[in-house]
Amino acid sequence: MSASGKLAGKRIAVLAADGVEGVELDAALAALKDAGAQAALVALRPGRLRSMHGHQPNDLVKVDSRVDDVQAADYDGLLIPGGYIAPNLLRQSAPARAFVRAFDAAGKPIAAMSHAALVLVSCGLAAGRTLTGWPGVRDDLVNAGAVWCNQEAVRDGRFLTSRTPQDAAAFVRALLPLLAGEPDAGAATPQADSDPPQQAPSELPDQSLRWLAAPSLGAMLSLAIVGVGVVAANRSLRKRGGRDGPAGPSEAVQDA
């Protein structure tokens, strides 16, 4: 069966917060839509979320429901996109943790991308599972009792995890069968031990920051004009204060 219509009639909750990785969110939402699923963005607050592209602000995304106002029973599966910021906010939210645990208790599929594996840790769902995630959270997963695999996407029963935003395509290929309730066609013998940690960061913070737009010439001229104006205003106030202030010694003699 083609991806188109594969998830027809399925309702999928996409749990996110400000700082969600835009590449992961967009890739997952596009795949769900193409497969015929109804995806609802569930967040900690109403309105719009600010997504991110690595370390840079990205698009605003409309929220469909607050996590306080929905139940796992309303959906057939759960997807948690990653990002540097959003998973950290979600894992601190009691309603968000309860929402994720309810999917597990109901035996429904749960998919977490990159840093979102941390949400599984905070929900107590990582122990005994084979997972992947952003290499920087490897130790968190291992310390929580999981086996970490340095692979694009890893499925363990009803759980699916991905490693980085660059692995979104591999994750989507595994996501649709998971949400459709199909068995894992590529299931292999689980690893006994975690893969070793990386020896260098996957991405240095300044890799994305170096691409931030430099101030335009117009902006720099505007700032210079404002600065000149402030200096001139201060000089004017000092001169006025000198004229209006108490008489100096020479003025006192003349008045006498």
Task: Name the strand (E) or helix (H) holding 79.
Answer: strand 77-80
pTM of the model: 0.79
- Cα torsion for 152, 96, 156, 41, to the nearest 10°? -60
Alpha-carbon distance values, 36 to 42, 134, 167 (Å): 19, 29, 22
The dihedrals phi and psi of 150, each to the nearest 5 degrees, come to: -85, 70
Amino acid symbol at 156: D
Using CA atoms, how far apart are residues 187 and 244, in angstroms rounded to an integer? 87
Q: How far apart are CA 144 and CA 130, in angstroms?
A: 11
| Chain centroid offset of residue 135 CA | 16
Q: Which two tokens stand for residue 162?
A: 């991905």
- What pLDDT is recorded for position 254? 43
Structure tokens at 4: 């188109």
| Amino acid letter, 119 | V
Asked if the model's pLDDT at residue 1 lies above 60, the reply is no
Cα(4)–Cα(6) distance, rounded to whole angstroms?
6
Q: pLDDT tens digits for 116-171?
A: 999 999 999 999 999 999 999 999 999 999 999 999 999 999 999 999 999 999 99
Q: How many CA atoms lie within 13 A of 168 on its CB side?
A: 19
Q: What is the H or E stretch that residue 19 is in?
A: none
Quick: pLDDT tens for 77-105: 999 999 999 999 999 999 999 999 999 99
CATH of domain 11-201: 3.40.50.880
Distance CA 149, CA 193 (A): 9
What is the SS3 assignment for 26?
Answer: helix
Write out pLDDT tens, residues 10-54: 999 999 999 999 999 999 999 999 999 999 999 999 999 999 988
Helix, strand or coil for residue 92? coil
Whether residue 67 contacts residue 100, with contact meaning beta carbons closer than 8 Å, is answered with: no
Cα–Cα distances (Å) from 44 to 17, 18, 92, in that order, read 6, 9, 11
Point out the least confidently predicted range of 9-18, 167-176, 179-188, 207-216.
207-216
Q: In this model, does residue 228 exceed pLDDT 70?
A: no
Question: Is a pLDDT exceeding 90 seen at residue 202?
Answer: no
Task: Tell me which of 76 and 57 has the higher pLDDT.
Answer: 76
DSSP one-letter code for 8? T
Token pair recorded at residue 102:
């309810």
* Residues 47, 45: Cα–Cα separation, whole Å: 7
Confidence of residue 67 (pLDDT cuts 50, 70, 90): very high
